[in-house]
């Protein structure tokens, strides 16, 4: 597991983005009291969401600027194999 990005929201909440690998057979368990929604989105779909927090736009901009790479690719808006 590796921390790839850190930011702070305009109201002072610290946000950290982590990259990790999980087994394909693993199941995701969410705490309904803490998580309202969980979705898997391509970065372009994430960027298009009307409810996206400003700190998420900052994260996507930093990714596009190649300040880090995720899964071996640096531009979140470029087409990738399997997309």
Q: CA nearest 5: which of 78, 81, 65, 79? A: 65
* Helices marked H in 1-83: 43-48, 54-64
Domain boundaries, the chain: 2-65
Per-residue confidence (pLDDT) for residue 82, from 0 to 100: 55
Ranges of the chain whose pLDDT falls below 70: 80-83
Contacts of 28 (CB under 8 A, 6+ apart): 38
DSSP state for residue 15 in the 8-state scheme: E
pLDDT tens-digit profile of 11-33? 898 989 898 888 989 988 899 99
């Amino acid at each position: 597991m590796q921390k790839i990005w850190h930011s702070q929201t305009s109201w002072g909440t610290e946000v950290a983005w982590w990259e990790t690998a999980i087994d394909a057979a693993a199941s995701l368990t969410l705490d309904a009291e803490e998580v309202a929604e969980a979705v898997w989105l391509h970065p372009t779909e994430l960027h298009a969401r009307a409810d996206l927090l400003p700190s998420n736009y900052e994260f996507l901009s930093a990714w596009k600027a190649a300040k880090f790479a995720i899964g071996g690719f640096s531009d979140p808006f470029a087409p990738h194999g399997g997309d």
